[in-house]
Amino acid sequence: MINLILFGPPGAGKGTQAVKLAEHFGLRHLSTGDIFRREMAEGTELGKAAKAFIEAGKLVPDDITIGMLKNNMVAHQPGTGFILDGFPRTIPQAEALDRLLSTLGASVSLVISLEVNDEELVNRLRGRALTSGRTDDADENVIRKRLEVYKNETLPLKDYYRKKGVLEDVNGMGTIEQIFSDICSRIRPLAG
Ligand code: ADP
């Protein structure tokens, strides 16, 4: 199994690249943001529980998020492996993921960190707000809050994965195709 994590701040391009990579390498794409938005649109209990946090730019609590990811990983038997986008976002989530993968006899193969500067991120999120219909993109204060939460709660994960020797930084400022081909060149050695 190849298990990839796409890591980076809001607006770094994780979702765009994850869709292309999932197709190219035959991996199962799991986006916690997409799953939450689907649950909210369907008005499920999970969606209702997540809504206030998401709209405030905060993280959904770990117990809810980890439970949801677990259910989705179990429901989708991995063929070749998973590509995770938006998860993990905290150390407890990363630890839960390690335990979950070890029950499948697997581990995190590679973490791609998409590097994009703050000015570019804010511009991209403002642009996305015009078309995404996402309430968390429409409000400048919520965007700032998400970037702050990223720095405080999610960025420490880079050290967690660096210590495991699976972290690779990729320049996230370029064309979608340039970035895709850079990421592919990091994955290819794993795909054998
Ligand atoms: P972004 O564009 O900010 O990366 P996502 O679509 O990945 O957005 O996620 C949208 C929102 O869903 C986040 O701001 C957060 O509230 C919630 N969310 C997504 N993934 C997680 C997670 N792993 N843990 C907690 N909350 C999450």
Over residues 122-177, the pLDDT tens digits come to: 999 999 999 988 989 989 999 999 999 999 999 999 999 999 999 999 999 999 99
Alpha carbon nearest to ligand 1 atom 6, residue: 33
DSSP helix/strand/coil, 5:
strand
Q: CA 81, CA 93: separation in Å to the nearest integer? A: 18
% of the chain beyond a pLDDT of 70: 98
Whether 89 is catalytic is yes
Give the pLDDT score at 191.
Answer: 80
**Ligand 1 neighbourhood includes 59 CB (under 6 angstroms):** yes
Query: Which one of the listed residues 20, 58, 126, 128 is annotated catalytic?
Result: 128
CA separation (Å) from 70 to 13, 62, 79, 139, 143?
Answer: 24, 12, 16, 31, 28
134 is catalytic: yes
Least confident of 74-83, 110-119, 182-191: 74-83
Peptide bond into 61 cis (omega under 30): no
At residue 132, what is the residue type? S
Q: Which of 58, 70, 134, 144 is catalytic?
A: 134
Among candidate residues 59, 82, 73, 68, the one with its CA nearest the CA of residue 153:
59
> Is 188 one of the catalytic residues?
no
CA 60 / ligand 1 centre spacing (Å)? 7
Which residue owns the Cα nearest ligand 1 atom 10? 33
What pLDDT does 78 receive?
A: 63
- Residue 179 token pair: 């970035």
Known active-site residue 128: yes
The mean pLDDT of 68-94, rounded to a whole number, is 91
Question: Is 177 within 8 Å of 121 (Cβ atoms)?
Answer: no
**Element of type H or E holding 169:** strand 167-171
Could you tell me where the DSSP H helices lie in 133-175? 135-138, 140-149, 157-164
Q: What angle do CA 45, 48, 49 make, to 5 degrees?
A: 85
pTM for this model (two decimals): 0.94
Q: Check if 65 has its Cβ closer than 6 Å to any atom of ligand 1.
A: yes
Q: What is the pLDDT of residues 21-38, one digit of tens each?
A: 999 999 999 999 999 999
Q: Is the pLDDT of residue 192 over 90?
A: no
